[in-house]
Amino acid sequence: MSIRINVADQMGSKKMGPLALVSLIILVIGMFVLPRYLKNAQLIMMSRIFLLAVYGMSYDILRGYTGFINLGQAIFFGSGVYMGVIFLNIQNDLTYFMLAILAISALSVIGGYIMSKIVLKTGGVVASAMITLALGEIVRSIAERWRFVTGGQDGLPMRASRVALDPLFETRIGAYYFALVFLIVMTLALRQFVLSPTGRVLLSIRENEQRSRFLGFDTNKYKAIAIIVSALASGWTGVFFAVIARFANTDYLSIQYTLNALLITLVGGTGTLYGAIIGSAFVTWINNFLLTLANSYPGATILRFPMLFIGSVYILLVIFMPYGIMGGIYRLQAKLNLGKDK
């Protein structure tokens, strides 16, 4: 018998068991101790995992909770990366980092608002997905032509600063901790958001938007809030990402990076929020693995097309793990509990 559960609905309904709590604490402490034993390349990979996890969660707010497919999510992420590089190129310290955060916040709120105004006119899921796709491509092509600011296709590298570099941005360990704290804070914040009354209405929209309207909820307003919250989280992640990537180009604005978020939520499990953390680890690892493989066997032409493998992973996942890793775990748990009751 297949069990129907709604992970999002059950979130936070039970107190965490002592075992789960202890393992979570050990995991977090472990993450704080870990950098001592890692090389620079591994530190970068871990930081990427943390940041892409937040990006995935921000995407899950729309896809998993609201049932809204945004194919232009990378606009906010990519803009964040650009803001980070642009501001830290002026001066490489925490003040300018915060200014970049402020700038992307304003941009995300305005951009998210405009996007929701355009998209929510149509109503249909597919139609709005297509519109967001078009919006994403428009922004990306503008960025590509606007060489003066974005550096076009060559991209925008972060200049080595002439003033004393903030240790936070100079060492990879600094960036690691920076990303880790960001992940923890954002996980708690987004969890709070999905558990709020507004988050609940978003769930109802995913379930049955018409009914939600007949309960008196102005669903378009709620969807606009979801788009803006998600845009903010993605934009902030972008600024943090600039610190570890030390480079911005239009790839970060492209559909490729939206699909990354989609893949992360797919692997982790849509509508599970934390699933994005597992998804991010998996996707980052597989990308890294393919890259290493391609470098070790330069003769193998097939390895130069990583999308070939990642695309296959997509297909296999949708067929064999429709609920993703976290979704699968929750379902297994529900099945075991069902056995216990009887």
Residues near other proteins, by CB under 8 A: 4-6, 9, 12, 192-193, 195-201, 203-204, 207-208, 210-218, 221-222, 225, 229
Q: How far is the CB of 174 from other proteins (least distance, A)?
A: 30
Q: How far is the CB of 258 from other proteins (least distance, A)?
A: 24
Q: Name residues whose C-beta falls within 8 Å of residue 28's C-beta, 6 or more positions apart in sequence.
A: 184
Q: How far is the CB of 204 from other proteins (least distance, A)?
A: 5
Comparing CB distances to other proteins, the nearer of 35 and 271 is 271
Residue 130's H or E segment, with its range, is helix 125-145
Comparing CB distances to other proteins, the nearer of 210 and 296 is 210
Q: How far is the CB of 241 from other proteins (least distance, A)?
A: 25
Cβ pair 7, 272 in contact under 8 A: yes
Q: Which residues of 270-307 are buried (b: 16+ CB within 10 A; e: fewer)?
A: bbbbbbbbbbbbbbbebbbebeeebeeeeeeeebeeee
Q: How many residues does the chain have?
A: 342
Comparing CB distances to other proteins, the nearer of 212 and 249 is 212
Q: How far is the CB of 3 from other proteins (least distance, A)?
A: 10
Cβ pair 204, 217 in contact under 8 A: yes
Comparing CB distances to other proteins, the nearer of 148 and 214 is 214
Comparing CB distances to other proteins, the nearer of 299 and 341 is 341
Ramachandran quadrant class, 39 (left: phi over 0; alpha: psi -120 to 50; beta: rest): beta
Q: How far is the CB of 254 from other proteins (least distance, A)?
A: 30
Contacts 24+ apart (CB under 8 A), 206-215: 206/64, 206/65, 206/66, 206/67, 206/271, 207/67, 209/67
Comparing CB distances to other proteins, the nearer of 23 and 208 is 208
